[in-house]
A and B are shown apart, each in its own frame.
Chain A
Amino acid sequence: MHAVVCIKQVPETTEVRFDPETNTMVREGVPGMINPFDEYAIEEALLTKERFGGKVTVLSMGPPQAAETLRKTLAMGVDQAVLVTDRAFAGADTLATSYTLAMAIRKLVPVDIVFCGRQAIDGDTGQVGPGVAHRLGISQLTSVSKVKNIDWESGRIEVERLLESGIQVIESSLPALLTVVKDINQPRLPSLLRMKRAKQAEIPTWNATDIEADPAQVGLEGSPTQVIKTFSPPKRTGGQRLSGEPGEMAKELVDKVFAAKII
């Protein structure tokens, strides 16, 4: 069994604060972290390996410093981590990113299962996983909250998907790509021993030539969408604080809600 996990390095959210005075995000010198949903993807790959044997490869496209994030995944127990990095990849939108990742995954075949996070918390798009699956011509199972069964004999996988209106149980042929949600497992912490080893581990880097990427399909060049403007959302300020005895406050609040004619 060979599982590939796509992970993204994202800005550390616990450290990013929004400064209402200057309208900017304030960061306190942190290099970034694994996109939270991707930790669940890594854990699920490791659990799959523990059940069936095989190996887990983690893949990330990003700037050179993303190597540090990959190192952490080695400390969690993945077998191999690859950084896909090239100046030419900069400015990629989801179409170009999924192309690049799919080309890198092609270099890793045979691959039985690909895990992604449901979405990255910086871009919040959830488009990359499906894009990769589609390019690889394998089925995409998004928003997976449970892997119920994998049958290698028949090459089928059965999972639960968390939809707004309920849980869908769906079965698919393998290989398949799964995007996972938080409920699927409890990610393990990196072990100390592995952490030491991971420090010395070599993380191979692949550039555009290594993955045989078409220059017209990567980075800014390969991105149909263009950001033309960014701005701060209208600021939401605290409104009114009610005062008085609990009973009075409750009554006042109920009156206000009715006055707003929502109920």
Chain B
Amino acid sequence: MALLEVIKDKCKGCGLCVEACPFEAIEILDNLAVIKESCTGCGACLDSCELEALYLPKIEKKPAVDVSAYQGVWVFIEHQDSQIAHVSLELLGKGRESADKLSTHLSAVLLGDDISPIIQQLSKFDIDRIYCIEDPVLRDYRTDSYVVAASSLVRKYRPEIILAGATTTGRDFASALATELETGLTADCTELDIDPEQGLLVQTRPAFGGNIMATILCPHHRPQMATVRPKVMEMPAIVDSNDAEIIQESLSLTEDQILTKIVDFIPSIDTVNLADAQIIVSGGRGLGGTENFGLIEELAEVLGAAVGASRAAVDAGWIPYPHQVGQTGRTVRPRIYFACGISGAIQHQAGMKTSEMIIAINKDPDAPIFDIATYGIVGDLFEIVPLLSQQFKKKLGK
């Protein structure tokens, strides 16, 4: 069976799909689209066909597990130094909504050592249950110990859905856990919903650097797992009820059974934490040198923002890699993104184009960054950026 089917009566051989295919897997023969072996079934072509002549055939599969035996929505609580990752809280909101649609319960999964301060923080949210394992070997996140702990909970309590943040830790954890459970995992979702007919988790995510969106289901395996991009889901409301049922389990794992050992942690300075930043001020090749990043840092400081950079600036050695935004750096989604002296190549855009507000400052009126900027200023950044710092300072009374 082919991964992609052509409805021969509908296809007119116009070739739009040929252009849309990232893998050169479609050709036109005798006015008909023909799918070649190199087709990966990615679906990038579907939307290009104006005649709706292409479809991905649904494969009829038998359920791998008894899906009705799995119930409840779980959110994996990521934490560090007794602080819950913001994305985990965001997921409690989405999780609540999904659990309500399914008329089931919402649970938080909390693994760690000395977890009472975290349970305290969780009590501010509308959660039905908290599954926890408290053990010294779980003090810091490590793949092997966390996966052993989480999979034991899953096998015992059988949730139908598990959500985790699409952070470095969340992705590391979810990938290994899904493999252990031999179930499906959708990475970096930006939308989640429950399909009203089958009650399946409808997972939507960007692919190909954000150029297409794909909607994905996991119909026959349980749990259905997804990692979710930080800052796309709304924070849940704070409640004062504090009546989540706490279910404690234990772990029979000793330190010497664990393959890894954390040696040290060097926290980054605030200006590097692009993932959590509400505002990012980024500089590119237009800055012309490392010394000029001072301008960017100054504006960032006024705004309490993180400092980002294009790859060109990083490769030139003007600023370290952790600041790089884009396809080979970080994907960010701040409320405001300032692009100063950045042309806006597709690889850069792939990492920042979902920012809420984009402000571009560039002396070239034809720079592609202006195609996506909410506000654009055509001008010399050496003149504009200090003026902005000044103006913001004044307004903020600094």
Contacts and interface: CB of A to CB of B under 8 A. Distances in A.
**Is this pair of chains taken from one and the same complex?**
yes
Interface of A: 11, 13, 16-19, 22-27, 29, 31-32, 36-37, 63-65, 87, 90-91, 93-95, 98, 121-127, 129-131, 133-135, 138-143, 145, 158, 161-173, 176, 181-183, 220-221, 223-233, 236-242, 246-247, 249-251, 253-254, 256-258, 260, 262-263
Given A220-B3, A220-B41, A232 B218 contact: no
A11 B56 contact: no
Contacts of A163: 168-169
A242 B208 contact: no
A242 B370 CA distance: 11
Interface string B341-374: 0000011001001001101000000000011111
Contacts of A126: 171, 175, 187
Interface magnitude class on chain B: 35 or more
A122 B207 contact: yes
A254 B395 contact: yes
22 contacts: A25-B20, A25-B208, A27-B22, A90-B3, A91-B41, A122-B42, A164-B167, A171-B261, A176-B259, A224-B64, A224-B182, A224-B220, A227-B56, A228-B58, A230-B43, A231-B215, A233-B210, A239-B375, A250-B391, A253-B388, A257-B392, A263-B336
Given A126-B187, A167-B266, A239-B373, A135 B179 contact: yes
A247 B387 contact: yes
A223 B144 CA distance: 24
B259 A173 contact: yes
B218 to A, nearest CB: 5
Interface in B44-81: 44-48, 56, 58-59, 61, 64, 80
A166 B372 CA distance: 30
Contact of A170 (B80, B263, B303, B336): B263
Given A164-B168, A225-B218, A233-B212, A94 B370 contact: no
Give the interface SS of chain A, mostly helix, strand, loop or mixed. Answer: mixed
A246 to B, nearest CB: 5
A183 B43 contact: no
B313 to A, nearest CB: 13
A16 B208 contact: yes
Given A123-B207, A124-B206, A165-B273, A236 B353 contact: yes
Contacts of A123: 187, 207
Nearest to B167: A164
B206 A254 contact: no
A95 B167 CA distance: 19
A169 B376 contact: no
Contacts of B179: 95, 98, 130-131, 134-135
A247 to B, nearest CB: 6
B375 A256 contact: yes
B58 A226 contact: yes
Contacts of B188: 124-125
B176 A225 contact: no
A25 B43 CA distance: 12
Contacts of B80: 165
B41 A90 contact: yes
Given A11-B23, A230-B214, A263-B396, A239 B374 contact: yes
